[in-house]
Amino acid sequence: MSLLDIRERISNARSVAVLTGAGISADSGVPTFRGTDGLWKNFRPEELASPDAFERDPKLVWEWYNWRRELLSTKTPNAAHEAIVQLEKQIENFWLITQNVDGLHRTAGSTNMSEIHGNIWKVRCTNCGTIAPNHDVPIDILPHCPNCQGLLRPHIVWFGESLAQEDLDASFRALQNCEILLIIGTSGLVYPAASFAPIAKEHHAFIVELNLDPTPNSNLVDISFQGRAKDLVPLLLPS
């Protein structure tokens, strides 16, 4: 089966879900998590993206986020992000589930979406829970809540933390109802997103994976294409 066949299937589908990971933003120059260019000062992301790390050393964790915010502020969506916006416009029932916190899907114009791991351009008060947009580059370290002076943290889901129930509900709804699931640029290692392909399969979705390399999902999906997201995703757009 070729990409052209998949395009044909998509053009006839009434419901499509898309799951994206860091690979889609790699084509915009954003480092992936498990690639070596994702390292900062020799820390692995797993060492910094946790509530324990923030409790131990909030300044260090905020410095890491400042490094990433600075880098991201120079990046723009690529052809793959843009193709997904077009899919949303053309498919009757469309839902994008992204693990990315970089906000590039939103910048590109996607709206029917769940950012299941949060967004690096939002902050949350550790005291009163208020969530607010924040685009400061760099952000003042340590940032405090204008309402209650509590310490602000990134509005991001760290390891060991639960995803927002409304994001899980919207994701499960999309996975259970889609005719086609596209999985783009994720290593498929992090839960609960790692269980999304099996859920869609149980509900008889046709699953297509697009990734530079094979992943744990490759054996489960109906078809897997190897290549760059920015080259492959635009080829799936119904003409």
Q: Which of 123, 125, 178, 184 binds Zn ion (CB under 5 A)?
A: 125
Binding segment for Zn ion (CB under 5 A), chosen from 5-13, 14-22, 145-153, 166-174, is 145-153
Q: How far apart are CA 167 and CA 102, in angstroms?
A: 17
Question: CB of 170: closest distance to ligand BJW in angstroms?
Answer: 16
Report the distance separating Cα 122 and Cα 170, nearest Å.
20
Contact residue for ligand BJW among 101, 152, 178, 208 (CB under 6 A): 101
Q: Can you tell me the distance from the alpha carbon of 226 to that of 45, in angstroms, rounded to the nearest whole number?
A: 25
Q: Which is nearer to ligand BJW, 93 or 237 (CB)?
A: 237
Distance CA(212)–CA(232), nearest Å, equals 10
Residues 144-173, mask of contacts with ligand BJW (x by CB under 6 A): ------------xx-xxxx-----------
Tell me: does residue 229 bind ligand BJW (CB under 6 A).
yes
Whether omega before 58 lies within 30 degrees of 0, making that bond cis, reads no
Distance CA 164, CA 214 (A): 29
Nearest to 62 by CA among 144, 6, 132, 141: 141
Length of the chain: 239
117 is catalytic: yes
How many alpha carbons lie under 13 Å from residue 107 in its C-beta half-sphere?
Answer: 20
At 211, which helix (H) or strand (E)?
Answer: strand 206-211
Q: How far is the CB of 12 from ligand BJW (least distance, A)?
A: 25
> What number of other Cβ atoms are within 10 A of residue 24's Cβ?
31
Residue number with CB closer to ligand BJW (35 or 129): 35
Which one of 117, 135, 144, 204 is the catalytic residue?
117
Q: Which of 23, 110, 179, 197 binds ligand BJW (CB under 6 A)?
A: 23
The partner in contact with residue 127, picked from Zn ion, ligand BJW, none with C-beta cut-offs of 5 to 8 angstroms by kind, is Zn ion
Q: Which residues of this protein are in contact with ligand BJW, per CB under 6 A?
A: 21-23, 26-27, 32-35, 49, 99, 101, 117, 156-157, 159-162, 185-187, 189-192, 211-213, 215, 228-229
Q: Which residues of this protein are in contact with Zn ion, per CB under 5 A?
A: 125, 127-128, 145, 147-148, 150
